[in-house]
Amino acid sequence: MKSILVTGGAGFIGGSFVRHAIDRGDVHVVNLDALTYAGNLDSIPSPDHPRHTFVRGDIADKDLVAGLLDQHHVETVFHFAAESHVDRSIDGPGAFIQTNVVGTYCLLDASLQYYRQLSGKDRDRFRFLHVSTDEVYGSLGDTGLFSESTPYDPHSPYSASKASSDHLVRAWHHTFGLPTMVTNCSNNYGPYQFPEKLIPLVTLNAIAGKPLPVYGDGSNVRDWLYVDDHCAALQRVADDGRIGQTYNVGGDNEQTNLSVVQTICDVVDQLCDPLAKPRRELIEFVTDRPGHDQRYAIDATKIKSELGWQPATNFVDGLRKTIQWYLSNDQWIGRIRDGKYQGQRLGMAK
C-alpha cells in the first residue's frame, strides 16, 4: 500500500483531504500538523486508524520531514500546511512568512533530498503537490477570470506569502528537477471549517441570533468551491496531472459577500427555530478590511479539459449541507469557542 504525506492535515482543507484519502481505501496517510490554533484532532480519523499516522510537528523541521519521508516510503507529498486567514496576516504577518515561505522551503529541501535517493519506479512515481490560492493573482474588476498565466499581484501579507511559496515550488522543479505541481483554488467552504472564516462565522451567529457583520458594502465577489469537490480535484491532479504544471480549481459559483450572508440567513431560517424577525435583519455593515480585494474568479478550463474534473456541488446545496453539519456538531464548535476563538473581529491593522 502506497503512503502519502499530508502536511497541515488537521486543518480545514487538509483534514478534508485526509478523510477523502482514507475513504478511498488504497493509501496510508502520514499526517503532519503543528496543531496551531486552527489545527483540530477532532476533524480527522483517530491516530489509531490502521491507515492513518498522525505526527505533531513543524514542516520547517527538515530532519523530522526527512525521517517521515524515508520511514514511510512516501510516494506523494500533498502540501496544505499554511497560515491562511487574511485578517490574521494583517495582525501578525511574521507567522505567515515563517510557515508559508520558510516552512515551504524546508519541506522542498527535505523532499528533494529524499527524491534524489529514489530509483526506478519509486523515483518515477514521486510527486510534490503544492496547494495554493487564487489570492496570489490580486484583484479583478467587474469582468475577467484568473487563468494559470495571470501575472501574480498579491495584496495582503497572506497572499504575498503564498505567492512566495508558489515561486519556490516552481523553482525547485525547474532548477533541481523535483517533480512538482501547483494548484490555485478559489474560496473553500464546507464542514469542519474554523469559525473565523465568513461562512462558518455567519452561520454560527445566525443560528444564535447574533449580529451578522459584513465588510464594507458587501459587494466583494468570491468564487466558492465546496471542499469535497476541491479534494477530488487534488486527487485528479496528483494521479494524472503533468509535472511542472499549474492547475486552477474553481467552483463556478461567483457570489457577493452580501449574497452569501443573505443565503445563509434564508437557509438557517428554514432549518432552525424562527426568531422574532427574519435573520436577514441581523446583517450589519462594518468597517471594511484594509486592502480588501474586490473580486476573485477562476477560469478552471485547464483542469476540466486536461483531467476531466468538474465541480459537482452547486452553492445552495453545498451551503445547506454545511449548515446542517454545524447544526449537528455542537461539541466540535464548543471546544473551539471555549479556547481558541470566540468570534472576535480580526485584521483591523491598528
Residues carrying an active site annotation: 134-135, 158
246 in Cβ contact with 181 (< 8 Å): yes
Quote the cell numbers at residue 208: 444564535
- In the chain, DSSP assigns E strands to 2-7, 27-33, 52-56, 74-79, 127-133, 180-185, 187-189, 212-215, 221-226, 246-249, 254-256, 283-286
Pairing, β 221-226 against β 254-256: antiparallel
Asked whether the beta carbons of 95 and 22 are under 8 A apart, the reply is no
8 A C-beta contact, residue 31 and residue 55: yes
> If we measure between CA atoms, which residue out of 127, 101, 114 comes closest to residue 4?
127
CB 185 within 8 A of CB 249: yes
Torsion angles phi and psi, residue 198, rounded to 5: -55, -55
Burial 209-238, CB ≥16 within 10 A → b, else e: eeebbbbeebebbbbbbbbbbbbbbbbbbb
191 closest CA partner among 41, 45, 329, 32: 329
Distance CA 205, CA 195 (A): 10
Using CA of residue 18, residue 246, residue 97, residue 103, what is the dihedral sign? positive
Chain-centroid distance of CA 10 in Å reads 11
Dihedral of CA atoms 117, 53, 321, 132 in degrees, nearest 10, equals -30
